[in-house]
């Protein structure tokens, strides 16, 4: 579909909208992208391309990384990178160990990651987006 998080079971859009206290996700992809821009969020893959049979990140093979250092250089306003899931975290750390911007793991929004409730994911994402240190 040439869209980020097009799978309707993926919780990404619900999480992002909920972080900003919005209850309804825009049904149109262009509206979702506008929502990201309005909230000063960028969205990009760690990988430029990869092969994957099925939907599991564990099945990703022959990946080629995106030019994340080039992205950061082109957009100096980027101050933090959120890595959606462990595969993104491990791949980012492997390919870009010298990036000078804080990159942090956030719980995967994939429906395959069911260890956390939607509410717990929203809380974790909110904490990182707003850089909140929670004591509980």
- Rounded to two decimals, the pTM is 0.90
Give the residue numbers annotated as catalytic, written as ranges: 10
What is the C-alpha to C-alpha distance for residues 28 and 32, in angstroms, rounded to an integer? 6
Per-residue pLDDT tens, the chain, 136 aa: give them: 789 998 899 999 999 999 999 999 999 999 999 999 999 999 999 999 988 887 777 778 899 999 999 999 999 999 999 999 999 999 999 999 999 999 999 999 998 899 999 999 999 999 999 986 443 3
DSSP letters for 45-107 = -SEEEEEESSS-GGGEEEEEE--HHHHHHH-TT--EEEEESHHHHHHHHHH-TT--SEEEEE-
Question: What total number of domains does the chain contain?
Answer: 1
Query: Is 3 inside any structural domain?
Result: no
> Could you tell me the residue range of the domain that residue 72 belongs to?
12-129
Query: Is 39 inside any structural domain?
Result: yes
Return the CA Rg of the chain. 15
């Amino acid at each position: 579909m040439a869209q980020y998080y097009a799978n309707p079971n993926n919780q990404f859009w619900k999480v992002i909208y909920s972080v900003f206290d919005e209850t309804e996700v825009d049904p149109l992809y262009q509206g979702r992208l506008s929502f990201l821009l309005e909230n000063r969020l960028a969205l990009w893959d760690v990988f430029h391309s990869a092969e994957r049979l099925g939907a599991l990140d564990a099945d990703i093979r022959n990946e080629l990384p995106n030019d994340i250092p080039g992205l950061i250089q082109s957009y100096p306003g980027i101050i933090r990178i959120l890595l959606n899931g462990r595969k993104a975290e491990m791949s980012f750390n492997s390919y870009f160990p010298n990036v000078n911007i804080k990159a942090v793991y956030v719980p995967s929004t994939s429906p395959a990651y069911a260890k956390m409730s939607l509410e717990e994911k929203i809380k974790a994402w909110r904490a990182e987006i707003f850089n909140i240190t929670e004591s509980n």
